[in-house]
Chains A and B, each alone.
Chain A
Amino acid sequence: MTCLTRRLILGAGAAAPFAFMRSPVAQIQRGQELTVGVWGGAQERILREFVATPLEQQHGVKINFVLGGTPERRARAYAERGRPSFDIVYLNIFESRQAVRDGVTQAPTDRVPNAANLYPAAKLGGYGVAFNPVTIVYDRRKVDAPMTSWKDFWRADLRGKVIWPTYPGAQGTSALLMAAKIWGGSENDIEPAFRQIAALKPFAAIQGSQDQLFTMFDQQVGAASVEFGSFTRAYAEARNPNIVIADPTEGQALATNVACITVGTQKQALAEAWVNLHLSPECQRAYAERIYYSPTIRNLDLPADLRAKLIMGEEAVGRLVDFDWDVVIRNQPRWSSRFTREIAG
C-alpha cells in the first residue's frame, strides 16, 4: 500500500506536465530511421512508391527495408522480443495473431486513423493490409465438370490428380481447416480432415509454394490444388488460360497479409504513420491493380472489371471463412507432425 501510494504520487507528479503525450518518442522526429521487414518484388516497389517515399519527403526520416522471407523475419522478431531491430514486420494471418499473443508485436489500435476503415476481420493481430484468400484452383482440361465445392476434390474424376498443399503454410492450413469443416469437423475436431485427406492419396504431388504449383500446372502434373486466388489469377492471365480460380459454395478461406508494429519499437509514431499510409486508398488501389490483392479498407471504389477479380464489399468479405486461430496455433505442432507422417512422405 505504501509502495503503491508513493509510486502514484511520484508518477502523477512526474507525468503531469506530459499528460498530453503518450511517451517521449510518440512524435515523429526528423532523422529517425524506420526499419521494415517485408517481402521483395512487387510489394517492395509499391511500398517504396506509396509509403516510404512520401514519409521520407514529408518528415525527413529514413526508411530501411530488410527484405526476406517470412520464416526468417518471424524468427528474428521472436529472438529480439522487447528490443527489436525491426519496427514493423509483415506476417501472415496466423503468425501475426500468434505474435501478438506472444508479446512480440502489438495489437491494432485507433491511433492509426485509416484503421477506422478496416473490415473487422482485418483488424486482428495487427493491421491487415490485404485480403489474399485461399481457394480452389484447377485446370479446366483435366476435370469433367467445373469445381464448385471443396468436396469436389473427392470426386472420382479427380482421383490421383490432386496437388495438395503442404502444412503448415497459409495454403495448407486453409486446405486442412476447410476439409475439416466440410466433413463435419472443425478446428476443434480435426480428425475428419486427416481421415478424408488421407483418402485422397495417392496425390499427383504435394506443393510447397505457388511457383512450384505453377510449374506443376505448366507440366500438367495434376488437375487441382488449393492456392491464393490473387497470384493464380496473374499466372492464368499471363501464361495458362486453362486455369480456373473457383469460388466454392462453402466460401474461400480468409487469409491476410498483416503489418505488425513490434513491441518495444522506439519509433511508435513513425511506425503508425507508415501503417496509416499503407491503409490509404492510393496504396490499396495499387495493390489491387498490380497484384490482385483485395483491399482491407471499406472506403475504396474500383472499376467493375477489377472488382470482379477481387473480394470486395461487406457481403463478399463476410462470406470469407474465418477460423479460431488460437486453436489452430495451439495445435500446429501436433498437426504438422501428423501431416508429415500421414499425408506427405
Chain B
Amino acid sequence: MNSRAAAPLLATPYLLWMLAAFAAPLGVVALLSVQESPEIFAPLSFIPSGVQYTDLATDPFSRRTILRTLALGASVTLASAILGYPIALWLTRLPPRWRPLGFACVLVPLLTNVVVRSLGIILLLAPGGLVSNLLAFLGLPRVNLLFGWFAVGLALTQVFLPYMVLALYDVLEAQEKRLAEAAAGLGAGPAVTFFRVTLPLSLQGLRAGLVLVFLLASTAYVSATLVGGRQVMVSGMVVLKEGLEILNYPAASALAMVMLGASVLGTLLIGRAILLATPWTVGRAPRRLPALPPALRRGLVVALEAIGPLVSRLLLGIALLLLLFPLVLVAVSSFNDSPQATVAQWLGFTWRWYAAVLGNERYLGDAWVSLQLALAATGVSLLIALPAALALARGTFPGREALAAFFMLPLALPGIAIGLGMLRLLQWFTLLPAFLGILAVHVVLVAPFMLAMLRASVAGLDRGLEEAASGLGAPPLRVFQRVVLPQLAPGIAVACLIGFLISFGEVTVTAFLTTARLQTLPVRIYAEAAFSLENTVNAISTVFILVTVLLLLAMHRLVPLDRVWRR
C-alpha cells in the first residue's frame, strides 16, 4: 500500500472489467453515432460520417434540450448538496443504535417505485396539493408547480439525495470531533465551524456526491416523463424517443455521445474545483483569497451565526419530509382496496396485495434471482473498486484524473444508450450463461458508485496509523487487514448498501437483456406497469423497506455503521 509505483496496478482489475464489459457497448454506440443512414437495417459503415453531429449542432431544439438538461443536472446537484449536509450531519449525530433506522429513512426513495414516488410529487405540488394548501393557509396565492422544471427538479432531488447523503456520511463520520471542539474553544460558533472546519474537511465526500448526482441527474428521464407532463424535454427522453420509438439509432447514439462528453466535462470540472479547494491533499499551499474588511466580516459572522441554526433545521425538516413522504404514500396504498397503484383516495382496507405478492411463487422466484444478482454484483464490484479507490486516492501517477473520469463513464452514458449498444451485441451476449452476462453488466453499472464512495473514504484515512503499524514491524498485508480495513468498514458498508440497491432495482438496461432463462423482479414490475400498475407494487415496496430495516440492523451488528473505537 505504501509503494507508490504499485498504485496504477491496483486499478487494473477495475480497468480490465470495464474494457471487457463496457468498452464493447460504448464502442457500438460510438460507431452507431457516426453512421450516415438512419435506416435500421442498413449495414454498419466503418467510414465515419459527422452528419448526426452536424444535425445536432444545427438544430436549435437539440441544442436547447442539451443545455437545459445540463442546467437541470447542475441545479439538482446543488440542491442535493444543500439538503444533503443537514441530513448527513444529523445521521452522524444519531446515537449508534438508532443509525440503522436513520439510514432506512434516507434510503426510502431508492426503495420505492418511480411511478409511486412521482405520485407523491404530484400530490405535493398539484393545484389542490399540500404546498398549494399551505400557501393558501398562509394567505398567499395558490400556485400550480406541477408539470414543469420545478417539479422535475424536485423529483430528481428526492431520488438522488440519498447518494449525496451517503457520500457525505462517511467522511463526516470519520472527521475528528476534537477539531470542532477546538474551533468552538477558539470562539467560533456553529455556522463558522461548519464553513471553516467541517465543510473543507468533507470536500472529498462532497466530490463523490456531486459527481454521482450530476451524472445521474443529467441522464435521468423517467421522472421527467412522469412529473414533467411532457412539457419538459430532457436529452434522456429524446434518446429514448429516437432510439426506441422512431428506431433511429444513429441519432439517438449521437445525442448520447454528446451527453457523455458533456458529463465527462462536468465530472472533470467538479474534480478540478474540489482540487482547488483542497490544496493540502497534493501538498500545495492554500490560495489566499482577498480578505473582507473587518467590520463587514464581523457583520457577516454575526448574521451567519444568528440564522445558521434556524436555516439548518429548516433544511433538515424539508429534506426529511422529501425523503419520507413516499414512505407514507406507499405504506398506506399497500393496504388500499383499489386495483390501481396510483390512487390518492382511500377505498377501503385490504391485505390482498400482500397475499398476491407473498403467495405468488413468480414474484418470489424473481425476487430470489434479483437478490442473488445484487449480492454477486456488489461482491464483485467491491473486489475491483476497493483497490481502484486506493489507486486513485493515493497514487500520484500521471493521468489519474483522466482514469477516474473513464471509470465513471458508465454513469455518464444514458442507460437507454447502453441498452441500445447491448442490442447489437446480443448474439454474442446470449452465448454467455444468462446469469454471468447480466452480472457483468450490473457490475459495470454498480462499480462506479462504489468507487466514487470508497475513494472518498480512502482519502479520509489517517496515514499516521498505518505508518505507526509499519514502524512497529507489521507487513503491508497485515497493516491493510488490521489498520486500513477497520477504518474503512463504515465506508465499505455504505458503498455496498448503495451497490446492492442499485443492482437490485436496475431496470433500464436489464429490460433489454431479460431472457426466458433469467428475469428480475424490477423487470417484472416494469412489465406489469407497462400494462397497468397494480397495488402489488406498493406491497412489494413496503416489504422491501421492512426487509431493508432488518438488514441494516443485522449489518450494523456485523459491520458497525460508525467507528466503534470512537464511541
Give every chain A residue within 8 A of B532 (Cβ-Cβ).
Answer: 41-42, 210-211, 231, 234
Return the contact of B229 from the options A66, A207, A239 (Cβ within 8 A): A207
List 9 other contacts, CB 8 Å, given A83-B427, A239-B345: A33-B516, A40-B530, A75-B243, A75-B247, A85-B516, A205-B231, A212-B226, A215-B119, A345-B61
B244–A71 contact, CB under 8 A?
yes
Q: What's the interface size class on B, roughly? A: 35 or more
Give every chain B residue within 8 A of A39 (Cβ-Cβ).
Answer: 527-528, 530-531
Q: Which of B336-344, B465-473, B559-567 participates in binding chain A?
A: B336-344
B146–A221 contact, CB under 8 A?
yes
Q: Which of A177-185, A277-285, A300-308, A333-341 participates in binding chain B?
A: A333-341
State whether the Cβ of A218 lies closer than 8 Å to any Cβ in chain B. yes
Contact with B along A58-81 (1 / 0, CB 8 A): 000000111111111011101111
A219–B128 contact, CB under 8 A?
yes
Between A and B, 15 residue pairs with Cβ closer than 8 Å are: A39-B527, A40-B528, A41-B531, A41-B534, A67-B523, A71-B245, A72-B512, A80-B426, A207-B229, A211-B533, A219-B127, A221-B146, A239-B343, A333-B248, A340-B238
The 8 A-B pairs at the shortest CB distance, nearest first, are namely A64-B516, A67-B527, A40-B527, A206-B230, A40-B528, A69-B530, A71-B244, A205-B229
State whether the Cβ of A148 lies closer than 8 Å to any Cβ in chain B. no
State whether the Cβ of B51 lies closer than 8 Å to any Cβ in chain A. no
Residue of A nearest to B536 (CB): A41
Knowing A218-B345, A333-B248, say if A68 contacts B233 (CB, 8 Å): no
Distance of A274 from chain B, by nearest CB (Å): 14
Give every chain B residue within 8 A of A323 (Cβ-Cβ).
Answer: none
B127–A221 contact, CB under 8 A?
yes
Give every chain B residue within 8 A of A149 (Cβ-Cβ).
Answer: none
Contact with A along B491-521 (1 / 0, CB 8 A): 0000000000000000000011011100100
State whether the Cβ of B396 lies closer than 8 Å to any Cβ in chain A. no
State whether the Cβ of A166 lies closer than 8 Å to any Cβ in chain B. yes
Knowing A231-B532, A238-B340, say if A207 contacts B230 (CB, 8 Å): yes
State whether the Cβ of B424 lies closer than 8 Å to any Cβ in chain A. yes
Distance of B219 from chain A, by nearest CB (Å): 18
B246–A219 contact, CB under 8 A?
no
Number of A-B contacts defined by CB within 8 Å: 163
Distance of B141 from chain A, by nearest CB (Å): 18
B231–A345 contact, CB under 8 A?
yes
Distance of A245 from chain B, by nearest CB (Å): 16
B516–A67 contact, CB under 8 A?
no
In the bound assembly, the distance between CA atoms of A76 and B420 in angstroms comes to 9
Return the contact of A219 from the options B122, B244, B524 (Cβ within 8 A): B122
> Which of A168, A211, A333 has most B Cβ within 10 Å?
A211
A214–B229 contact, CB under 8 A?
no
Contact with B along A40-62 (1 / 0, CB 8 A): 11111000000000000000000
State whether the Cβ of B430 lies closer than 8 Å to any Cβ in chain A. yes
B233–A214 contact, CB under 8 A?
no
Give every chain A residue within 8 A of B424 (Cβ-Cβ).
Answer: 79
State whether the Cβ of B126 lies closer than 8 Å to any Cβ in chain A. yes
In the bound assembly, the distance between CA atoms of A286 and B440 in angstroms comes to 41
Distance of A211 from chain B, by nearest CB (Å): 5
Return the contact of A206 from the options B231, B248, B347 (Cβ within 8 A): B231
Contact with B along A219-244 (1 / 0, CB 8 A): 11100000000010011001100000
Distance of A89 from chain B, by nearest CB (Å): 13
Distance of A133 from chain B, by nearest CB (Å): 17
Distance of B256 from chain A, by nearest CB (Å): 15
B230–A85 contact, CB under 8 A?
no
Give every chain A residue within 8 A of B526 (Cβ-Cβ).
Answer: 68-69
Give every chain B residue within 8 A of A234 (Cβ-Cβ).
Answer: 339, 532
Contact with A along B25-50 (1 / 0, CB 8 A): 00000000000001011000000000
Give every chain B residue within 8 A of A78 (Cβ-Cβ).
Answer: 40, 247
A218–B344 contact, CB under 8 A?
yes
Knowing A39-B527, A72-B511, A79-B424, say if A215 contacts B345 (CB, 8 Å): no
B423–A68 contact, CB under 8 A?
no
In the bound assembly, the distance between CA atoms of A345 and B62 in angstroms comes to 12
Give every chain A residue within 8 A of B340 (Cβ-Cβ).
Answer: 211, 214, 235, 238-239
Give every chain B residue within 8 A of A168 (Cβ-Cβ).
Answer: 245-246
A79–B122 contact, CB under 8 A?
no
Residue of A nearest to B517 (CB): A64
B511–A69 contact, CB under 8 A?
yes
State whether the Cβ of A208 lies closer than 8 Å to any Cβ in chain B. yes
Return the contact of A75 from the options B233, B423, B530 (Cβ within 8 A): B423
State the A residues within 8 Å of B (CB). 33, 35, 39-44, 64-72, 74-76, 78-81, 83, 85, 102, 166, 168-169, 203, 205-208, 210-212, 214-215, 218-221, 231, 234-235, 238-239, 332-333, 336, 340-341, 344-345
Distance of B225 from chain A, by nearest CB (Å): 6
Knowing A64-B516, A83-B427, A340-B233, say if A211 contacts B529 (CB, 8 Å): yes
A238–B430 contact, CB under 8 A?
no
Residue of A nearest to B511 (CB): A72
Give every chain A residue within 8 A of B238 (Cβ-Cβ).
Answer: 340
State whether the Cβ of B358 lies closer than 8 Å to any Cβ in chain A. no
A66–B515 contact, CB under 8 A?
yes
Knowing A69-B511, A231-B532, say if A336 contacts B343 (CB, 8 Å): no
State whether the Cβ of B103 lies closer than 8 Å to any Cβ in chain A. no
B344–A219 contact, CB under 8 A?
yes
Distance of B487 from chain A, by nearest CB (Å): 44
A79–B41 contact, CB under 8 A?
no
State whether the Cβ of B115 lies closer than 8 Å to any Cβ in chain A. yes
Distance of A304 from chain B, by nearest CB (Å): 25
Contact with A along B397-435 (1 / 0, CB 8 A): 000000000000000000000011001101100100000
In the bound assembly, the distance between CA atoms of A41 and B339 in angstroms comes to 11
State whether the Cβ of B147 lies closer than 8 Å to any Cβ in chain A. yes
In the bound assembly, the distance between CA atoms of A272 and B1 in angstroms comes to 64
A344–B519 contact, CB under 8 A?
no
Contact with A along B228-244 (1 / 0, CB 8 A): 01111100001011011
A79–B423 contact, CB under 8 A?
yes
B147–A205 contact, CB under 8 A?
yes
State whether the Cβ of B308 lies closer than 8 Å to any Cβ in chain A. no
> Which of B230, B243, B343, B347 has most A Cβ within 10 Å?
B230
Give every chain B residue within 8 A of A33 (Cβ-Cβ).
Answer: 516
State whether the Cβ of B189 lies closer than 8 Å to any Cβ in chain A. no
A42–B347 contact, CB under 8 A?
no
Residue of A nearest to B528 (CB): A40
Residue of A nearest to B147 (CB): A205
Give every chain B residue within 8 A of A44 (Cβ-Cβ).
Answer: 527-528
B423–A76 contact, CB under 8 A?
yes
State whether the Cβ of B129 lies closer than 8 Å to any Cβ in chain A. yes
Residue of B nearest to A343 (CB): B230
In the bound assembly, the distance between CA atoms of A316 and B123 in angstroms comes to 40
Give every chain A residue within 8 A of B147 (Cβ-Cβ).
Answer: 205, 221
Residue of B nearest to A83 (CB): B427
In the bound assembly, the distance between CA atoms of A43 and B423 in angstroms comes to 26
Residue of B nearest to A62 (CB): B516
B233–A69 contact, CB under 8 A?
no
In the bound assembly, the distance between CA atoms of A225 and B55 in angstroms comes to 34
In the bound assembly, the distance between CA atoms of A205 and B146 in angstroms comes to 9
Distance of A329 from chain B, by nearest CB (Å): 10
Give every chain B residue within 8 A of A239 (Cβ-Cβ).
Answer: 338, 340, 343, 345, 347
B512–A75 contact, CB under 8 A?
yes
B342–A79 contact, CB under 8 A?
no
Return the contact of A221 from the options B126, B232, B245, B341 (Cβ within 8 A): B126
Contact with A along B322-353 (1 / 0, CB 8 A): 00000000000000001111111101000000
A341–B339 contact, CB under 8 A?
no
> Which of A35, A336, A345 has most B Cβ within 10 Å?
A345
Return the contact of A344 from the options B128, B230, B512 (Cβ within 8 A): B230
Residue of A nearest to B526 (CB): A69
Distance of A137 from chain B, by nearest CB (Å): 15
In the bound assembly, the distance between CA atoms of A102 and B344 in angstroms comes to 44
Give every chain B residue within 8 A of A43 (Cβ-Cβ).
Answer: 531
In the bound assembly, the distance between CA atoms of A72 and B338 in angstroms comes to 29
